Structure 1
């Protein structure tokens, strides 16, 4: 059975800046499902915030968010729609 493609947004909050290289490496690994990315430093709270627009199967997107969520100091949420 072929998994249905979804479009969505993944929000990533980086509380530990030491994890930035690991996050960037993982996003590079999943570049085939990433349409766009915007990252902003939030100096007042010592955070970095990244929003990712994705287009892929629920398995692909779930693998990305699952691996991001396993990185200490990283918070991840996603919203997907069927298209």
Structure 2
């Protein structure tokens, strides 16, 4: 199945949603490449950056589920390229 690499930006303004958010991330764990969380105490929010590699519908579903939580905002940014394995391998050019 064709996958895309994407970043999901998450802003958490309601700490009561954190437990549900972490549960959703656990359910999608096989697609998560990495996660960075930054507590911004001065503003009372948490900023999470999530790198994923998944089919586009999975990324959309994950972002949508997170964004429906109270006090949580999300935005997904997709890579332009599709699976390199399905496109014939590396995009690197060699001089021969």
Query: What's the counterpart of residue 21 of structure 2?
Result: 23
Please identify the structure whose Cα radius of gyration is greater. Answer: 2
Number of aligned positions between the proteins: 81
Aligned to 2:66: 68
Instruction: Name structure 2 gaps, 5 residues minimum.
Output: 83-96
Alignment of 1:1-83 (within 5 A): 2=1, 4-81=2-79, 82-83=81-82
Of Structure 1 and Structure 2, the greater helix share is in 1
Task: Measure how far apart 1:52 and its partner are.
Answer: 0.4
For the residues of structure 2 that align with 1:48 and 1:24, how far apart are their CA atoms? 13
* Larger RCO: 1 or 2 (CA < 8 Å, sep 6+): 1
Rounded to whole Å, the distance in 1 between the matches of 2:20 and 2:63 is 13
Q: How much is the aligned-residue C-alpha RMSD, in angstroms?
A: 0.9
Moved over 3 A (4+): none
Q: How far apart, CA to CA, are the structure 1 residues paired with 2:67 and 2:48? A: 14
